[in-house]
Amino acid sequence: MIFFRSGLKWKLSLGFIVCAAIAGLSGLAGFVSLGNIQANLKQATSAIDENIDMQVARISQIMPLQTFAVAIVNARTDDNLSDIRRKLADHRKSALSGSDEDARLLEGVEELLTLKTSQLQALHDLGELKKSYNSLIAEVIKLTITIVDNAQFDAEIKIYDAIGDIEKKVASTKDVSALGLRFGEISGTAGQAITAVKAASSVKSLCNEMNAMVNESIASSDAEYIDYVRIQASTLLRNIRTELEVLSEDPAAAPIAALLDDLAGSTDRTISARKLVLAEENRLNEASSQIWENMAGMQADVLNAAVNIKSDTETTMETTAGLVSRWQSIELFLVIGSLVLAIVLGVYISGMIIRPLKKAVTMLQDIAEGEGNLTVRLQEESRDEIGELAKWFNIFIEKLQHMVKDIAVYAAKLNTSSADLSALSTQMVSSAEQVSLRSGSVAGATEEMSANINAIASAAEEMSVNVQSISSSAEQMSQNVDSVASAIEENSMELADVSRFARDGSDIAEMAKTKSVSAMQTIELLGKVAEDIGDVTSVISRIAKQTNLLALNATIEAASAGDAGRGFAVVANEIKELADQSAKAAQDIASRVKGVQSNTREVVKVIDEIANIINHINEASSLISKSVEQQKENANEISGNIHQARAGTNNIATAIAEVASGSNVMAGSAAEAAKGVTEVSASIQDVNRAANESNTGARKVNVAAAELTEVAGEIHKMVDRFKFEA
């Protein structure tokens, strides 16, 4: 598939595109669902708005009429009704386009206004009649009170007059019967007065009772009670007329009788007016009730319409809720699907990225810790950046494996060379010590030979002075010559050993020089391998930086994808961490390689010093060999001279004449021998000094060889940590 053959960037981009497509599909579905919901709500809202506008229009017609009706019912004056009549006319002009129902309601309010006008007129008439009635009843009561007062006053005057007359008669006469008559008159006068007062009081009481009943009838709304009051008022008027007959002799009774006719008419008109007011109130109540009923019906219609609006709204909301629920299910399915797909893609792509990176980091960590398996390789399955990373990582591990293998071989060679150098340096120390010992012995023999030669010289001198002691001196000289000859021979043998040891030391030094050169070449190769490893760690660092850039790019892409890119953000973060770990491992390897390079430079420096010491030892051995050869030639010459001296001593007895010349020759030979012995002694000292220097250099070589062996062991330990053989 193209997906598996594409690069990591295209895989991440494709994953983001798929998630974005699903998110876009989800958004498109949400947009479509919102469009459907909006259309449904718009249609329902339009119908509801139309119904509400109609009901609002009806309410706008009902509310003013209701206000007018309430104002009409509560109106108390014509001025109030005139104001209402004017406003109602204005309302009729503004409500010309109303419905028939509204027109009927308006006509009912106008009829109510007419009835209220009639009611107020009836109330006005009732008030006027009540004023007239109250005036008449008050006048009757006033006249009644006057009658009572007059009757009492007349009775008092008559009684006083009668009492005065009685007093006069009592004083002037003793006629008791006349007094009795006067007392009878007084009693009759008092009885008449009392009767008049009772009649006047009864009229007053009857007037008050009738006034109370009429006022109650005016306040009452019971038509039957009003009719009852009409009848009772007629009865009370008749009773008042009856009581007035008792007062017929009182001049004030006549006006009351005249007023009773007017009072009867006023009472009847007042009660009739009250009945008319009551009838008008009933008509007004009936009209207002009809209006309230009509308004209640219209309000019920409005409420029913409101209920219908509520029902339609609930139906619309239920339909909308169903659409929302359905689209929520679709959205939930799409969201869950996108999340599942994003998680699957994230896990898959993260697995593709993290598994090889983790394996690479584990291998780098093992390599950094010195326990890596260099035979393991990453799988190069994909053709993206991860596959490219695995490819170059495998190339790096393969080169590192070859390098470590070469280092192991070179370390083994270095270990062998250091062991050989250590053995050679030990042998050089032993040879130098033997050369020093032999040179010491040669020096002793040379000193002894010098003493013998000096003795020969002395003997030769004595022989030339005292010929008589020639025999004994010749014998002694013969012995001395033999001693010198034997010393010379022994010295010659020692010199031969010294020459052999010097040649062996030179050969060992040459061999050590060869080994040191080989070791230096091995170390130089080791340094080149370390430099190659440094180059490889640089490649790893560049790969880690590139991986870090890829992780940063993936993080940016994941951030732009929002919630759908969270899985990729986690993957990018883990890639970044793995890249950081790879960089740290590369830095650790680089630091270890720098340590190896530093140790390699120290080893090269030590080997260079060893090579210089070996060259010095080689030169000293050459000098020793040359000095020994020279001493050997001198010893042979001395030996020849000694043999000549010995031959001379043997011929002493036969050639005394030759003794003088022989002694002179022998003295000269002795002098030359002494000179040669001195030169030999000096050369032996030089040999001894060179041997000591060779011993010191050999010991230094031995120490350097031990250090080289230790370095080779450390390199071998470092290499042994890695597994580079299958």
Give which of 130, 128, 123, 102 is closest to 284, Cα–Cα.
Answer: 123
Task: Give buried/exposed letters for 262-284 (b at 16+ CB in 10 A, else e).
Answer: ebbebbbbbbebbbbbbebbebb
Q: Which two tokens stand for residue 119?
A: 């009611």
- Choice between 197 and 570, residue whose per-residue pLDDT is larger: 197
As a whole number of angstroms, the distance between CA 573 and CA 571 comes to 5
Rounded distance between C-alpha atoms, residue 278 and residue 316, angstroms: 54
Q: Do 558 and 342 contact (CB within 8 A), yes or no?
A: no
* Location of structure tokens 């080289």: 708
In the chain, % helix, strand, coil (3-state, to 5) comes to 95, 0, 5
Residue type, position 217, single letter: S
Condensed to tens digits (0 to 9), the pLDDT of residues 427-457 reads 666 655 665 665 565 556 556 555 655 655 5
DSSP code for 20:
H
Write out pLDDT tens, residues 147-198.
Answer: 777 766 666 666 666 666 655 655 555 555 555 555 565 556 556 666 767 7
Residues making up the chain, counted from first to last: 726
For tokens 């004023």, the residue is: 131
**Which residue(s) pair with 373 in the sheet?**
723
What is residue 723's DSSP assignment? B
Banded model confidence at residue 96, pLDDT cuts 50, 70, 90: low
* 492, 439 contact by CB (below 8 A): no
Does the pLDDT value for residue 670 go beyond 50? no
Q: C-alpha angle with apex 398: 538 to 584, nearest 5 degrees?
A: 35
pTM score, two decimals? 0.39
User: How far apart are the C-alpha atoms of 694 and 700, rounded to whole Å?
Assistant: 10
User: How far is residue 193's CA from residue 186's CA, in Å, rounded to a whole number?
Assistant: 10
pLDDT surpasses 60 at 41: yes
Counting residues of the chain whose pLDDT is more than 70, the rounded percentage is 42
Highest-pLDDT range among 162-171, 339-348, 416-425: 339-348
Q: Per residue, what are the HEC states of 436-470?
A: HHHHHHHHHHHHHHHHHHHHHHHHHHHHHHCHHHH
Specify the range with the lowest mean pLDDT, choosing from 14-28, 145-159, 525-539.
525-539
Give the up-direction half-sphere exposure of residue 580: CA atoms within 13 A in the CB hemisphere. Answer: 8
Q: What is the pLDDT of residues 650-663, one digit of tens each?
A: 665 454 455 455 55
Q: Is 373 helix (H, G, I), strand (E, B) or coil?
A: strand
Q: How confident is the model at residue 693 (pLDDT cuts 50, 70, 90)?
A: low
pLDDT band with cut points at 50, 70 and 90 for residue 39: confident
- 274, 126 in Cβ contact below 8 A? yes
What average pLDDT does the chain have? 68
Q: Which of 249-263, 592-606, 647-661 has the lowest mean pLDDT?
A: 647-661
Closest CA to 215 of 295, 134, 309: 134
Q: What are phi and psi of 373, to 5 degrees?
A: -100, 105
| Cα gap 530→323, rounded to integer Å | 73
**pLDDT reading at 206 higher than 80:** yes
Contact predicate 436/691, CB 8 Å? yes
Taking the C-alpha atoms of residue 681 and residue 688, their distance in angstroms, rounded to an integer, is 10
pLDDT-wise least confident of 22-26, 246-250, 375-379, 421-425? 421-425
Task: List domains and CATH numbers for the chain.
Answer: 113-305 (1.20.58), 524-721 (1.10.287.950)
Residue 46 Cα to chain centre, angstroms: 47
Q: How far apart are CA 433 and CA 429, in angstroms?
A: 6
pLDDT score for 385: 67
Q: Considering only 384-398, 568-582, 673-687, which range has the smallest mean pLDDT?
A: 673-687
Q: What torsion, rounded to 10 degrees, do the Cα atoms 77, 81, 87, 91 define? A: 150
Closest among 448, 463, 427 to 494, alpha carbons compared: 448
Tell me what pLDDT residue 653 has.
Answer: 47
DSSP 303-361: HHHHHHHHHHHHHHHHHHHHHHHHHHHHHHHHHHHHHHHHHHHHHHHHHHHHHHHHHHH
First-to-last alpha carbon distance for the chain, in angstroms, is: 35
- Identify the pLDDT of residue 65: 73
